[in-house]
Amino acid sequence: MAQRSRPGPTITRSSGPLSERCLLGFGSTSGPLALPDPDQIMILSEMIHDARIVRMNAQHLPKTIRRWMGDSVGHWEGDTLVVDTTNFNDKTRFRGSAENLHVVERFTRVDANTLLYRFTIEDPDTWDRPWSGEYTWPATDKPIYEYACHEGNYALGSVLRGARRQEAEEAAAQAKK
């Protein structure tokens, strides 16, 4: 499936990828830990401690309200939790997606130690057609270690210095033309 290309961003302290700035995790921002209450479920991922609130049996927020992790609305279909997420902002770019990203996730316990996670992703501004995947989440009795996102962002200063140097070199080369 073809993914439409987008130009790369200029790196500034506020324009780098959210995961690089330790604001959201990279890859998947949802994890297998869920804590339900009657009206909402929280999906917590250890990576950067992302917490997604799924409002149960609700309507999506107006399209003018955009969130980093989108607006997640859930309902039960038998034993399967279905989470429909829309209203992403322009900073959350899952694999190059844009604001019109739409994700439907299905969480089904298949036995005492296994959760089946299925998803369908669509964004007509990014992909030619929707695409889907699934995998299992096995239960574990092993420790879960805290994700430490390059403690103190020590690398960020070097990333920014490198970007400024590259811009200066490009400007100097352009001035010679």
Q: What is the pTM of this model?
A: 0.66
Model pLDDT for residues 47-69, shown as the tens digit of each residue: 777 788 999 999 999 999 999 88
Query: Which three-class secondary structure string do you get for the chain?
Result: CCECCCCCCCCCCCCCCCCCCCCCCCCCCCCCEEEECCCEEEEEECHHHEEEEEEECCCCCCCCCCECCCEEEEEEECCEEEEEEECECCCCCHHHCCCCCEEEEEEEEEECCEEEEEEEEECCCCECCCEEEEEEEECCCCCCCCCCCCHHHHHHHHHHHHHHHHHHHHHHHHHHC
Confidence band (pLDDT; 50, 70, 90) for 28? very low
Averaged over 150-168, what is the pLDDT? 80
pLDDT of residue 3: 55
Model confidence pLDDT, tens digit, residues 132-156: 999 999 999 998 877 776 666 677 7
